[in-house]
Amino acid sequence: SQKIEQNSEALNIQEGKTATLTCNYTNYSPAYLQWYRQDPGRGPVFLLLIRENEKEKRKERLKVTFDTTLKQSLFHITASQPADSATYLCALDTDSGYALNFGKGTSLLVTP
Amino acid sequence: EADIYQTPRYLVIGTGKKITLECSQTMGHDKMYWYQQDPGMELHLIHYSYGVNSTEKGDLSSESTVSRIRTEHFPLTLESARPSHTSQYLCASKTDGGGSYNEQFFGPGTRLTVL
């Protein structure tokens, strides 16, 4: 099965800086990779999806890269704001394609 | 805001009780999922459904059961709750249209505590 690794330590950054979160995976190569945001006590909310043939995807202040050679995705939040503080989850399609495998997530704290 | 609902949001119950966690979505999605998540840990898939009358077990073994009699409704049942069932249960759905790349929409979750 797929093993997904995200930064285990919380990421603390100052407002206005760029936050960069890492997602590494092993075993098979997924057809796509997704990023979700999860606030405490809530369900995850979809942010971005990037396909295996795409190098980069952008949405407003968010940018995702996908390097299938390194088996790694980077998630960037530019001009970060305290409201961006949350846990960010990386998710890959399962090898059978019926569901998603999620990483443990990285906690981001943006301080004023 | 996703149109997927879970009730109750919080449940504290004694060992041995039978419980049903409700999940409903108004988006007409065919695929629905149940995940279990402990604090600081990843989501683990415990059940999923491709559509009405379809139910499958996920990667994480679970003593719970599910049913899918209507497209919009995917309840999860524990016949006899135990303290080991204490966890956050998240329901999700996604459309089957446009390929399998569509994102999943999650409900707010049910925090279950079994004493």
Cα B99 to Cα A95: distance, rounded to the nearest angstrom: 15
Note the pLDDT of residue B101. 63
Residue A78 makes CB contacts below 8 A (sequence gap 6+) with A18, A61, A62, A63
A30 lies within 8 A of chain B by CB:
no
Percentage with pLDDT > 90 across chain B: 82
Note the pLDDT of residue A93. 82
pLDDT of B54 > 90? The answer is yes
Stretch B46-75: mean pLDDT:
93
Note the pLDDT of residue B48. 94
HEC letters along chain B:
CCCEEEECCEEEECCCCCEEEEEEECCCCCEEEEEEECCCCCCEEEEEECCCCCCEECCCCCCCEECCCECCECCEEECCCCHHHCEEEEEEEECCCCCCCCCCEECCCEEEEEC
Q: Could you tell me if A70 and A46 are in contact, meaning their C-beta atoms sit under 8 angstroms apart?
A: no
Contact flag A104-B40 (C-beta cutoff 8 Å): yes
* DSSP letter assigned to residue A75: E
Q: Across all residues in chain B, what is the average pLDDT?
A: 92
Contact flag B101-A4 (C-beta cutoff 8 Å): no
The angle subtended at Cα B84 by Cα B83 and Cα B86, nearest 5°, is 70
In angstroms, the separation between the Cα of residue B50 and the nearest Cα of chain A is 9
Closest partner residue to B45 (CB to CB) among A45, A49, A99 is: A99
pLDDT in tens, A22-78: 999 987 778 889 999 999 989 999 999 999 899 999 999 999 999 989 999 999 999
What contacts 24+ positions apart, CB below 8 Å, involve A29-32? A29/A68, A29/A71, A30/A2, A30/A92, A30/A93, A31/A93, A31/A97, A31/B100, A31/B101, A32/A92, A32/A93, A32/B101
Partnered with residue B3 across adjacent β-strands are: none
CB half-sphere exposure, B8, CA atoms < 13 A = 9
A92 lies within 8 A of chain B by CB:
no
In angstroms, the separation between the Cα of residue A42 and the nearest Cα of chain B is 5
Residue A26 exposed, middle or buried by CB count within 10 Å (0-12, 13-18, 19+): exposed
Phi, psi of B91 (to 5 degrees): -105, 145
pLDDT in tens, A64-105: 999 989 999 999 999 999 999 999 999 998 766 678 889 999
CA distances to A29, A77, B59, B62 from B41, rounded to whole Å, are 23, 23, 15, 17
In the structure, what pLDDT confidence band is assigned to residue B45 with cuts at 50, 70 and 90?
Answer: very high
Percentage with pLDDT > 70 across chain B: 94
